[in-house]
Structure 1
Amino acid sequence: MLVSIIMPVYNGEKTILGAIKSVLAQTYENWELVIVDDCSKDQTHSVVKSIDDERIKFYQLDSNTGSPTSPRNFGLSVCKGQYIAFLDADDLWEPKKLELQVAVLERGYNIVCSNYSVFVDENEDDPLSYRQFPKEFNFRKMLRRNCIGNLTGIYNRDKLGIVLQKNQGHEDYIMWLELVKKGGNVYCVQEPLARYRLSPSSVSSDKLQAAKWQWRIYREELELNALVSSYYFSHYAFNVVKRKLF
C-alpha cells in the first residue's frame, strides 16, 4: 500500500535534508513524500531539488500562511496514498518506522503511532528525553493525554477519510482526536520510531499557551461542560508536570 507523507516547510534549508534522508532510509519503500513550502525565503527549494527521487513531490503555496496548517491541508488534498503520515521538516524518522507501522495497519488497526525521542537542535544522536505511551488506547485516553505525536501517527485514509487541520493551537491534536473517535483503538509501537527536534522557538515549548489551547479544545471544540473539561484538564496538567519531573 502507498504511504503519503505530508511535510510542511518554511525556511527549512538547515534541517529539511536530514528529514528527507530519514524518509529515503525507510525499509518500507512504497511511499510518496509530499513537501509543501509555505513560501520560504531561504534555499529550501534548492535543497529539495538537489535530491533526485521521483517519489518526492514539491509544491509551493502562492503566499505565506504563517503556520503549518495550510501546507498540511494542501498536502492532504493532493496526496494519493491509502495510508497517511506526517513529518515536519526539522524532525526525523528511524529506518523501520513505516515498515513496522504498516504491518500493524494491515492487521486491521486504523491508526498507529509510536514512542519517540526528543532532542535539542543539532544533538539528534543525544536524546534529551523519551515520550512513551500505552501500547493500546482509545478516544477517552486521548482526552486525558495526547498520545499521538504528529510525527509518529499514520492512519488508513480509505477507512477514515481525510480530516483537515484547523488553523489554531494544537491543530494536530484536534485532527487526531477526530480520527480516533472514528477509528477506534489506536496501536502504539513501543519502540521510539521518530525523533522530535525541540528548539527555543518551538510553538509547543510555550506551556502556558499550550494549556490555554487545551482548555479551549475541551470547552469549544468538543463542547464539554465545565466539570468534564476540568476532569480531563487535570489529567492533562498532571502529565505535563510528570514529564517535567521525570
Structure 2
Amino acid sequence: MNKSVAVLMSTYNGEKYIREQIDSVLVQKNVDISLIVRDDSSKDGTTSILKEYEKAGKLRLLTGINMGVGNSFMELLYQSPDADYYAFCDQDDIWLQNKMEVAITKLEKLETKAPGLYISNQTLVNEDGKKIKTRYQTEPKHKLENVIFANYIAGCTMVMNQNLRNILIQQKHRPSQEFLELRIHDVWVMLVANLSGKIIYDKNSYILYRQHQNNVVGAKSMALHEKLHDKYKRMVTKKYKKARSKTAIELQRCFEGEISQKDKEILTLFQHANSIRGVYNIMNHPKLKKAILGNKVIFVMKSLTGWI
C-alpha cells in the first residue's frame, strides 16, 4: 500500500501558474496524495480555479482572512488530516513526478521513529519553466545557530513525517501570529526540526522553482539598488528589530523544559545579542562565531543597534 501524503498549498493571487503546479502534484508516483489548499484572500481568479479542482474532487479548499504566507501555511498544518507524511507546496512551481517518492524513501531510512524532516536542493527556472541553474552547489548550512541568523531552506522542498507534524501542531508548540510575520513557516519548521528531530538534506533537486516578479518569497536575484531598498525598508520597520533575539525567546517559550542544555545555551546567547557582553559571547562561542554572516564589524554594529 502506498504511503499517504497531505500536500499543503497556500495561495494568493496565483492564477497565472497554479494549474501547472496542481497538475504536477496530482501525478506524483507511488504515493497517495491529498491536496489541501488554503487561499489567503486572493483578489484575482485563483479561487475560481481552485473551486474547479475542488468540484472535480481533486483537492480540499479552505478559505479565510488574509494572514500572510507564514501564518497561512501553519494554519494548513494545524488543520491537516492524518497522513503518513506532510509536504508544503508553493503555488507557482512544478514538481517532478518522483519528488514525494524520493523524499519518503529517504525518511523511511531513519534508524528510529524520530521526528524527521527532508529538505532538498532546487532547480531555479524562469517564468516559462526554463532552467536557470541549480540553486546550491554545496549543502547550505541548516543547524540551529545558522537558521536563527538566516534560513536558506525553502518550505516547498520540505517533507516531514507524522512525528514531526504532531510536535508542530501541539498548542503549546505553536508560535504567535506576530512571530510568523517576522520569521515565516519554513524558518519555524527548520528550528523545531533542529530541536526535536533529524534533518535529511538531498543535494539533488526534484522541483522547478519558478522565479518571477511576483514571488512572495524566493531565491530571485535583485539589483544592488533593490537590495539596498529592501534593507532600508527592514531597518525602518519596527517589527524587524531584534529578530534573532525574538526567535530565541519564542523557541524557549514554546519548548520550555524540552530543550537540550547545548541548544538552551545557544538560545540564551541570542537573547542577549543586543548588548556588548552578548555580542562578545556570540563572537567567542565556537559554533556561533562560525555562523555569523558577512563582515564581523557590521555584525557588531547591527547587534548593538538592534538589527540582529
Distance 1:128 1:49 in 2: 34
2:34 counterpart SS class:
strand
Contact 1:119 / 1:198 at 8 angstroms: preserved in 2? yes
Gapped regions of structure 1 (runs ≥ 5): 239-246
Percent identity between the two aligned chains: 22
Distance 1:182 1:188 in 2: 16
Q: Which residue of 1 aligns with 2:97?
A: 95
Q: CA RMSD in A?
A: 3.2
**1:221 CA displacement:** 1.1
2:182 counterpart SS class:
coil
Q: Which residue of 2 aligns with 1:126?
A: 131
1:48 matched to 2:56: no
Alignment of 1:51-200 (within 5 A): 51=53, 54-61=57-64, 63-65=65-67, 67-80=68-81, 81-108=83-110, 110-120=116-126, 122-134=127-139, 138-140=143-145, 142-143=147-148, 146-159=151-164, 161-163=167-169, 164=174, 166-171=179-184, 172-184=186-198, 186-200=199-213
Q: Which residue of 1 aligns with 2:31?
A: 29
Distance 1:236 1:102 in 2: 36
2:100 counterpart SS class:
helix
The residue type equivalent to 1:177 in the other structure is L
Deviates more, 1:84-93 or 1:197-206: 197-206
Gapped regions of structure 2 (runs ≥ 5): 221-225, 249-266, 274-278, 297-308
Q: State the structure with more CA Rg.
A: 2
Distance 2:15 2:132 in 1: 22
Q: 1:177 to 1:132 in 2, by over 3 A?
A: farther
Per-residue Cα deviation, 1:183-239 (whole angstroms, up to 9, x for no partner): 13x11122111122223343445755498799844222115143327736633789x
Contact 1:4 / 1:85 at 8 angstroms: preserved in 2? yes
Q: 1:187 to 1:170 in 2, by over 3 A?
A: same
**1:39 CA displacement:** 1.8
Distance 1:117 1:216 in 2: 33
**1:9 CA displacement:** 0.6
**1:38 CA displacement:** 1.3
Contact 2:125 / 2:210 at 8 angstroms: preserved in 1? yes
Distance 1:25 1:69 in 2: 26
Contact 1:115 / 1:152 at 8 angstroms: preserved in 2? yes
**1:58 CA displacement:** 0.9
Distance 1:182 1:128 in 2: 33
TM value normalised by structure 1: 0.79
Q: 1:74 to 1:220 in 2, by over 3 A?
A: closer
Q: 1:18 to 1:133 in 2, by over 3 A?
A: farther
Contact 2:125 / 2:132 at 8 angstroms: preserved in 1? yes
Q: Which residue of 2 aligns with 1:241?
A: none
> 1 or 2, which has the higher helix percentage?
2
Q: Which residue of 1 aligns with 2:289?
A: 231
Distance 2:129 2:8 in 1: 21
Distance 2:143 2:48 in 1: 42
The residue type equivalent to 2:139 in the other structure is P
